[in-house]
Amino acid sequence: NFLVNNITDLPRVLKVAFYLGRSGRPGPVHIDLPKDVTAALADFDYDKEFDLPTYKPTIKGNKRQIKKAIEAIKNAKKPLIYIGGGAVLSDAGELVREFVDVTKIPAVETLMAKGVLPYNHELNLGMVGMHGTYAANMAMSETDLLISFGARFDDRVTGKLDEFAKDAKIIHIDIDPISISKIVKAHYPIVGDLKNVLDTMLPLAKSEINPENYEYFRSIVKRYDELHPLTYHDSDKVLKPQWVIQKTGEILGDKAIISTDVGQHQMWAAQHYKFDKPNRWMTSGGLGTMG
């Protein structure tokens, strides 16, 4: 948050604001412009360099913590990967998919992570939380190790906190240290850019993790998906919104970028549009207001 008291400060404040807004964990920056500043004139020098000694986002994860996390995954019986919007922001989709394929660990996704793992991937249990799938939520309640890839544990996912993943240890990877253990305690915190952290984790996962260890858990969550798939009651008398969204997805595939307002249609789009790739889904999952 910035208050500009003098017109000569405006170029520096704008440059710093855009830097803060686009680096680390991207987010909004507020600039307060008093009327006398908006009415003033000055030379605009945007090229002048600036220094922010107190703002140095951590990009590389701590190697010791990463090794501890891999050890925890090795010892887990029912690990679950929890993919958040940070996987999209860090452009880590390819590495997330490779990690899932190498370890064969089932995965759930948040509203903001649609497409990071293709909708038809055999280990993608779908969206988790209030509007999520039965299989995703059951997996979350039964896991003994939750591996968070850039997710923030928002209330639509966690619900009642003392019941959330109550039998699980938590590995939380996030570039924003304030987000780690903010809502749910992380037993294995890793601060860093997810893409960078996964670059370090993948070779260790390939050499140390045995995918056969998780066959029992995979069979359970697959059965949940078979027993309670995400469906809706179709009708030959009216056009159901879910059907329209589903068919639109089948026609357009990954050629389209889908944008929504917030509300029921947003949830239908998240549930029934078949996202194959990240960055095809533009919606508000945190700063949206109704109306």
Q: Nearest 5°: CA angle at 282, between 277 and 285?
A: 110
Looking at residue 291, its pLDDT comes to: 47
pLDDT in tens, 274-286: 999 999 999 988 7
Q: What is the mean pLDDT of residues 106-122?
A: 96
pLDDT at 289 over 70: no
Contact in structure between 116 and 88 (CB atoms under 8 Å): yes
Does the pLDDT of residue 50 top 60, yes or no?
yes
The answer to whether 147 and 81 are in contact (CB under 8 A) is yes
β-bridge partners, 83: 109, 149
Query: Model-level pTM?
Result: 0.91
% of the chain exceeding 70 in pLDDT? 98
Q: Tokens at residue 165, please? A: 């993943």
Residue with the larger pLDDT of the pair 104 and 47 = 104
Q: Once rounded to an integer, what is the mean pLDDT over residues 159-188?
A: 95
Gap between the Cα atoms of 176 and 271, Å rounded: 28
Looking at residues 35-43, what average pLDDT do you find?
A: 94
Q: What φ, ψ does residue 112 adopt, rounded to 5°?
A: -85, -5
Average pLDDT over residues 258-279: 94
Pair 147, 68: CB distance under 8 Å: no
Overall average pLDDT of the 38-48 stretch: 90
Q: In which order are the strands placed within the sheet that holds 169-174?
A: 124-127, 107-109, 79-83, 145-149, 169-174, 188-191
Question: Exposed/middle/buried for 55, CB within 10 Å: 0-12, 13-18, 19+?
Answer: exposed
pLDDT band at 254 (very low <50, low <70, confident <90, very high): confident
Mean pLDDT, the chain, integer:
94
20-29 pLDDT, tens digit each: 999 998 888 9
Segment 198-246, tens digit of pLDDT: 999 999 999 999 999 999 999 999 999 999 999 999 888 999 999 999 9
